[in-house]
A and B are shown apart, each in its own frame.
Chain A
Amino acid sequence: MSDTLTEAPQAPEAPTQNAGVVHGLYREGEPIADTKAPKVDIKDRWTTRQFEAALVNPANRRKLTVIVVGTGLAGGAACATLGEAGYHVKSFCYQDSPRRAHSIAAQGGINAAKNYKEDGDSVYRLFYDTVKGGDFRSRESNVYRLAEVSANIIDQCVAQGVPFAREYGGLLDNRSFGGVQVSRTFYARGQTGQQLLIGAYQALERQIAAGTVQMYTRHEMLELVLVDGRARGIIARDLVTGEVETHLADAVVLASGGYGNVFFLSTNAMNSNVTATWRAHRKGAMFSNPCYTQIHPTCIPVSGDHQSKLTLMSESLRNDGRIWVPKRREDCEKDPRDIPEEDRDYYLERIYPSFGNLVPRDIASRQAKNVCDEGRGVGPKVGDFARGVYLDFSDALARMSTEAVAEKYGNLFDMYQRITGESPYEVPMRIYPAVHYTMGGLWVDYDLQSNIPGLFVAGEANFSDHGANRLGASALMQGLADGYFVLPNTIRDYLAHGPYPKVEETHDEVVAARTAVEERVQKLLSVNGERSVDSFHKELGHIMWEYCGMERSEEGLLKAIDLIRSLKDEFWRNVRVLGSGATLNQSLEKAGRVADFLELGELMCIDALHRRESCGGHFRTESQTEDGEALRDDQEFAYVAAWEWGGEDGIPTLHKEDLVFDYVHLKQRSYK
């Protein structure tokens, strides 16, 4: 066995009270590090790790149970692959069918270093672009592996029957996506996520039929079960009968997606939440970089108070649409078609001539905010400001013909028209940034194992591959890479080092976890206050967007922390959850999720406060260049911030994992 197989780093001993307390909000603890990536050339790390990972004899596999929470791209792919390998898999999702996981909503595409276009793409270039795009806040080893397995993903999906877009010769078509200059994005019209997820879902259903996977739909994980410091199961609630169930296993995988819904309004599916990872965090799993939120530049602007979510318009639209606002404020209320070319400000093309409308999302978003803050926004006013910019297809329609545009973007145009009542074939679309994706998540090592042995985390739920910013088409890639190719290889190493002692449902720690869930459900039902769950969620979202959104400042963040604390306090005194715990009760489901969001929101603000630099989606007003671009501070902050739960009345502890760049040189990101 090699030296790469050391134990996962354990949470260090708690430092003495008050030692190193900062702002009264958190304290600093011991540094941590990933010990699993083999110390060989980056090109050989994954092959080496796969070779070194111990094997599990096929006959023993069916005696081993793995719980997978989540059936999105990460979880669905993991369940299918682990099932094929012969493990006994228990799969959980809260929707009525695994096919409905939030991954289904992804529109634009999935990256892979196939170099089918011969335009200079390679594994190394995808790796390089991703590290740079993440503003040098991700781990080189993980990102390189992602680029390396990306090509296999496309092969796998095509073999499953995923109908990617093709050219007339029958070969796969590609397009380019925000932040890159090569065409490496594979797509299926504007519904790549749906098609990829259906592929994984079908593979999963095949395993369910084969009896290797047991599916639990409409089940929500509400607690992680730890026995002797290892993850050994979950407590879940059957959302239909209300029954609280115990499920035990040899290892647990969380693939429960991101937490963008902490903002209430976001492009995420309504029920996306943080509960699975937050409950694990409270049991000791470290939560990394929670403040890294991606704001997506091309969403349909907000129309009113009733709004329940924001709709993304795929950023592939930026390939052919041109973004502009009027040069003069006086023109903002005019019909855009009456504003002549010379009175329009194509601000991205002006400021970033080499990337133009294809600059990365954080840059496109912030510039949209800037022009609207200057009073040059368009569309209806929300508050005192019009918050919208034009995404104009008139040039493309003239250049490519209406049919060609419809072929490429038709369904997106239809969706836009349905929501706004306006046709993008006739009037420019209006777009504005919205919360989209979270880059933070549970800390994992190269094996995707958290600091709790036996607890693995995949897809958007972990923190590892995207750094402070995520380029388009890279989350789908990561979800499938984790689920199909990485986890099945690394988890076997953990399982091979077992067998771990059998656990009974009557074990003290199991009973305690279950009781905790039952008590929490009862507590939520018995507050019997005045305010609905949604009203708390909206207020939290408002605080988060205002102070921990596109721009953050020390003053704002401190204020937000206070506001969140009083809101949390009020929540537990004044929330109203009607009905009982013994039937389908959607308010009760939401209440549990919002309670966790309130705690997460506070940690996000603390994380944003401590990171006194700007990077990617995290923009601190105190840290910018003269021309208003994000200013990183590599000297101080080239690390992952991994937070340890401080207990109910305690404060969290910050552990730093230094980021080492041996292959990509740290430099200021420039897209000019």
Chain B
Amino acid sequence: MRITLQVWRQDGPQDGGGMRDYVLDDVSEDMSFLEMLDVLNEDLIGRGEEPVAFDSDCREGICGSCGLVINGRAHGPEVTTTCQLHMRSFHDGDVISVEPWRADAFPVIKDLVVDRSAFDRIIQAGGYVSVNTGAAPDAHATPVPKDDADKSFASATCIGCGACVAACPNASGMLFMGAKVTHLGLLPQGQPERDARVVKMVNQHDHEGFGGCTNIGECAAACPKEIPLDVISRLNKDLRTAMRHGH
């Protein structure tokens, strides 16, 4: 396939940045989107031009490192991670634009690489169960109904990629946060800190410069792990309960 790429190039955080066009003649449909960028980079290096910087690690759709806005959509046209998007989703002759996540809370570091450490700080604020190592009771001491365990698992599949933020017109991190609050809130182990957790996480979220949620739903539509919009309702409900309890 022949593909024309319009790629966002930006030298560093202070640089203005802009789109640059590249043409690739020999794209196979078995390539993942990132493998296609690898091919572009080999080409650029051959021509003495600096390769395009982008994040990736597992290339299996699980680490959450990769993330590009492709033709205006977070992770591209399919509901998956960028590394699991394959060129068979495109056609010969396509023109494809490639940009980094855009959000105030995710500053651009270089080209397509952004800084998502704000997510870590939200987790630091309370996205955990406080248990010291070695202090745990036998795992069978507290049964967890299968249904709860399964639902909790479904939210725990969030990979922290940030597509929800990139897709949201308000750049809100509510889906990410809702996923964590739901994961821990459905388990008996997560109960003691449930109120405090949600309040602290929401405060940190706002402090980082993420926007508020106005129920647009773009986040859930873009989420490669199909985290449902319900987790946001759950988060709001937990937040109201916590306020009622005086947090």
Contacts and interface: CB of A to CB of B under 8 A. Distances in A.
Given A208-B124, A584-B110, A170 B133 contact: no
B39 A306 contact: yes
Given A156-B134, A584-B109, A209 B64 contact: no
B189 interface: yes
B28 to A, nearest CB: 6
Interface string B101-131: 0000000011001011101100111011111
A99 B160 contact: yes
Contact of B84 (A303, A308, A418, A584): A418
Interface in A161-186: 161, 163-172
B30 A304 contact: yes
A166 B146 contact: yes
B119 A97 contact: yes
Given A96-B115, A485-B133, A170 B63 contact: no
Interface string B1-41: 00000000001100000000000000010111011101100
Interface size class of A (residues with CB under 8 A): 35 or more
Interface in A190-241: 191, 193-195, 198, 201-203, 205-206, 208-209, 215, 217, 240
B42 A534 contact: yes
Contacts of B240: none
Given A104-B63, A164-B149, A202-B129, A534 B144 contact: no
Contact of B139 (A98, A158, A188): A158
B156 interface: yes
B140 A171 contact: yes
Interface residues of B, number: 77
A314 B124 CA distance: 32
B123 A160 contact: no
Contacts, number: 211
Interface stretch (A16-24, A347-355, A575-583, A598-606): A575-583
A144 interface: no
B117 A217 contact: yes
A80 B133 contact: yes
Contacts of B236: none
B59 A270 contact: yes
B70 interface: no
Chain B: interface secondary structure? loop
Contacts of B86: 418-419, 421
Contacts of B30: 303-304, 306
A152 B50 contact: no
Instruction: Point out which of B59, B125, B189 has the most chain A C-beta atoms below 10 A from its C-beta.
Output: B59
Interface in A229-275: 240, 269-271
B136 A155 contact: yes
B53 interface: yes
Q: Give the 7 A-B residue pairs with the shortest CB-CB distance, closest first.
A: A170-B143, A202-B128, A159-B136, A163-B153, A155-B136, A209-B124, A158-B139
Interface of B: 11-12, 28, 30-32, 34-36, 38-39, 42, 45-46, 48-51, 53, 55-65, 80, 84, 86, 88, 109-110, 113, 115-117, 119-120, 123-125, 127-140, 142-146, 149-150, 152-153, 156-157, 159-160, 183-184, 187, 189-190
7 contacts: A156-B131, A159-B131, A194-B62, A306-B31, A308-B34, A415-B60, A578-B51
Given A170-B146, A576-B45, 10 more contacts: A84-B133, A96-B116, A100-B57, A156-B133, A160-B129, A164-B149, A170-B149, A188-B153, A306-B30, A308-B59
